[in-house]
Amino acid sequence: MSLSLEDIRRIAHLARLELDAQEGERMLAQINGFFDIVEKMRAVDTSGVEPLNHPVAAVQDVPLRLRDDVASEPNDREANQRSAPAVERGLFLVPKVIE
């Protein structure tokens, strides 16, 4: 897949960008270069390759780093709010910023 200069102008218009002719040519070369890389990647035979859950898993065993979602710290609201300038009924009071 490759784009034309007209495609670049249309994309720039949709993105509300002003590109002069030189910038348009440069963008065309860069984007088409990206598409060339994608085409090379698609050409690689990946059949039989299982996806990795972590990139490091390609070189060493990596256990999933997910843990059970359980509370590990006690609820110590009073101690956490002790340094707050203003607290009411367990909530932090902050200045009004929107009129």
Q: Are 28 and 66 in contact (CB under 8 A)?
A: no
Domains held by the chain: number: 1
Higher pLDDT, 79 or 65: 79
Is the confidence at residue 86, as pLDDT, over 80? yes
Residue 30 is part of which domain span? 5-43
Higher pLDDT, 69 or 14: 14
Is there a domain that residue 31 lies in?
yes
Is there a domain that residue 28 lies in?
yes
Place of tokens 């009129």: 99
Is the confidence at residue 52, as pLDDT, over 90? no
Q: What is the CATH number of the domain that holds 24?
A: 1.10.20
Is there a domain that residue 33 lies in?
yes
Average pLDDT over residues 52-75: 76
Is there a domain that residue 18 lies in?
yes
Is there a domain that residue 30 lies in?
yes
Is there a domain that residue 49 lies in?
no
Its pTM stands at 0.48
